Structure formats: C-alpha cells, structure tokens
Amino acid sequence: MTNIQMPQLRPGNPCYSSGPCAKRPDWSLQALQDTPFGRSHRAKIGKAKLKEAIDLTKEILKIPHDYRVAIVPASDTGAVEMSLWSLLGERGVDILAWESFGSGWVTDVVKQLKLQDIHRFEADYGHLPALNALNFDRDVVFTWNGTTSGVRLPNADFIPADRQGLTLCDATSAAFAVDLDFTKLDVTTFSWQKVLGGEGAHGMLILSPRAVERLETYTPAWPLPKIFRMTKGGKLIEGLFEGATINTPSMLCVEDYLDALKWAKKLGGLEALIERANQNAQIIHNFVAENDWIANLAVDPKTQSNTSVCLKITDPDITKLDPKAQAAFAKSIATLLEKEKVAFDIGAYRDAPAGLRIWAGATIETSDLKALMPWLLWAYKTQKATLSA
C-alpha cells in the first residue's frame, strides 16, 4: 500500500461540532468566576445577570428597540415550539423545509397542531425551495440556515415589508453569523450553543411588535403548557422580556453566555463575528475548489452556509458504491480524524446525506481550519487506500 504522509501541523483546537460548538478562543473556567452560585435567579443579582444577557444580545445583534427579547426553556427547540403553539392558527401557514430541522417543524405543525390550511414548500438537501411562491398574507415559517444541509437564505429580500402574516424564523445557526434583517422577521429564535459556543438548554426568543399584537389578540384553540405561555389576561407578560424567566435557568450557563457576548463586543461586534465566520468558511470552500473528490452539499454558492459547512464526497470510485458503503466511507474519514485527535464531531448529521460537516463559526480560529484541511486530504487518501488494499 502506498505510504501516505501524515501532516505535521495539528489544529490547536480539534472541536468542529455544529452544536454545542467550540468555545471562544482562550476560554477557561476562570471566565465563569463571577457566577452567582447558590443564588436565586429571582434575587437582585440573578435578575441583573439575565437582564444584562438580554440587553447585550439586543445591542450586538442590532435588534430594534421596540422588539422584545426573552430567555426561554429548552434551547432553540423550545423557543420555536413556543412560537408555533402560541401564534399559529389565526390564518393559513406557508412552511418551508430543506433539511431535517425544517422538516421537524413541518411535522409539528401538521401532525401535532393538526392545522389544516398548510402549504408546504420543500426541497432536497443542497437546495432551497421556491421562495417566490410564498404568500405573505399567510404566516410563513422557515429556518434561516439549514444546520444539517449547509444551505442558508442569501438574504431577506423575498419577504415584503407590507406583509399581513407573521414570519417565524429559526435562526439558531445564523444568529451572530449573518446580518439578520429584523424588520422582515416577526419571530426569531436561536440558542447559545451555536455561533457563540455557549452551553445548552436555553433558547432566545425575539418578537416584533406585530408578533406581540398577535399574542394579545389571538387565543389558540388548543391548551398551552406553562412553559409556552407568554400572556396573561390577554396581555404580554412583560417580565419575561426583562429576565423573569418562565422556569429556573442555569446561572452558570448565563455567565458563560455573558462571557461570549462580552468577547464578541470586544472583538468588534456583529461585523467582526460575521467576518470571522466568512473567512473560516472560505478556507473550506477553497479546499473544496482545489480537490475534485469533495464538494459543497449546497449547490448554489449564494446559499452556502458560513457556519455549518456540509460536504459530500464526489469521487466516482466512492459514489458508485451502494449508499451504506458511501456512508461508511465518509464516517471512516471522521472516525480516523477523531482517533488522531485532529477533528471531533465532523460527520454528517444522521438524517443528512453521507458526508462531512465542519463548523466554521466565529469561535473557530482560522488557523485551526487551515491546519485541518491537509488532514482531510490525508484521511481521504488513507481510507481510499484501504478499499483497494
């Protein structure tokens, strides 16, 4: 068998997971020393920390002053579910899906809420649905960045300013990595463990004045669990948007999120975070352009994610294999790199086509992605050599 030389330079941080994502550069447990351990989140110190997290989120993301921001239970999933169950049903719904998480929201709306007036706009992995077919007199539900497909919306130009319905956007792997136009978004959700590398279990919910109006004027036909309720007596529970969380948050996780927000602000805010993600993604895109055995899963370059970069193996010797063998080959590359402690968690998502997925968000150092690329080539050559051995 041909001797394939192993690269010498290793990434400083081998964590490329698409959630939970890598911590910010130079992070350590010392960053959490101001956590108010053993204190109630309802005490003055706890409320102040939660309010600070909300205020910094609004500042860095440039959220309009009349929008509400809340910390909610159950990560991005919890924030999305709160929105779907609390707001939908007032009018018809157009819902988009082009990867597994968007498909999950379709399932919830159709099979759990059992809404009847539903128009589904779906596309295969690697593509976007037809955005020009949407009717914004209806409510429209979509992800911004398909975390499991690496396909994202190029912008919000397809959303009219004079829409009658609400737009509900799952932005969990896009927030802090793209310039979200909040004037086009009535509900926006994300979680801390994506672009800023925070800890899990907490979600962020951002509501426009139009979404608040819907909450105060529309009552769903179904009962709402306590953790979904945002109104009382027909009025918004304002405390939720000042840090009075529905259930008990982890103050340790809050402190970690605050640390990430302060790092982002010091770095230069949203523009600096976007630039880091763009530079990181470009390293991978350049590698793909130079190697004919691999390609971006996103077909249109305008829709290629700058965070969850999903790749497919295009080597004819591999693609001629049956699907299970193709998946096994891709997995073997990820397994080999993990064994070498060069890259952790870069296998494709379980429901996605066989391939690799590399996180390129702002907490990843560009130098680490540059160091990883020769290892990808080495692992590919090594595993292909075993097929013909």
Give the tens place of pLDDT for each residue, 119-161.
999 999 999 999 999 999 999 999 999 999 999 999 999 999 9
Q: What is the reported pLDDT for 388?
A: 76
Other Cβ atoms within 10 Å of 336 Cβ, number: 18
Calpha distance 44→51 (Å, rounded): 10
Q: What is the reported pLDDT for 2?
A: 62
Give the helix/strand (H/E) hosting 277.
helix 269-290
Q: What is the reported pLDDT for 3?
A: 77
How many angstroms separate the Cα of 189 from the Cα of each of 79, 177, 182, 194, 288? 6, 14, 11, 12, 31
Residues 6+ apart with CB under 8 A from 284: 309, 311, 358, 360, 369, 373
Other Cβ atoms within 10 Å of 319 Cβ, number: 14
Q: What is the reported pLDDT for 1?
A: 45
**CATH topology for the 35-265 domain:** Aspartate Aminotransferase; domain 2 (3.40.640)
- pLDDT of 310 over the 60 cut: yes
Question: Which of 323, 332, 384, 373 has its CA nearest to residue 352?
Answer: 323
From the centroid of its chain, how far is CA 294?
24
Residue with tokens 């310039």: 179
pTM over 0.95: yes
Q: Give me 306's structure tokens.
A: 């700058």
CATH superfamily for domain 269-388: Aspartate Aminotransferase, domain 1 (3.90.1150.10)
Calpha distance 285→280 (Å, rounded): 9
Render pLDDT for 230-245 as a digit per residue (tens, 0 to 9): 999 999 999 999 999 9
Mean pLDDT of 281-309: 98
Q: What is the reported pLDDT for 71?
A: 98
Q: Name the residue ranges covered by the structural domains of the chain.
A: 35-265, 269-388
Q: What is the DSSP letter of 118?
A: E
**pLDDT > 90 fraction of the chain, expressed in percent and rounded:** 98
Mean pLDDT of 96-116: 97
Instruction: Judge contact between 372 and 341, C-beta under 8 A.
Output: no
For all residues of the chain together, what is the average pLDDT? 97
**pLDDT > 70 fraction of the chain, expressed in percent and rounded:** 99
Render pLDDT for 328-383 as a digit per residue (tens, 0 to 9): 999 999 999 999 999 999 999 999 999 999 999 999 999 999 999 999 999 999 99
Q: Cα dihedral sign for 273, 274, 276, 277?
A: positive
Calpha distance 126→128 (Å, rounded): 7
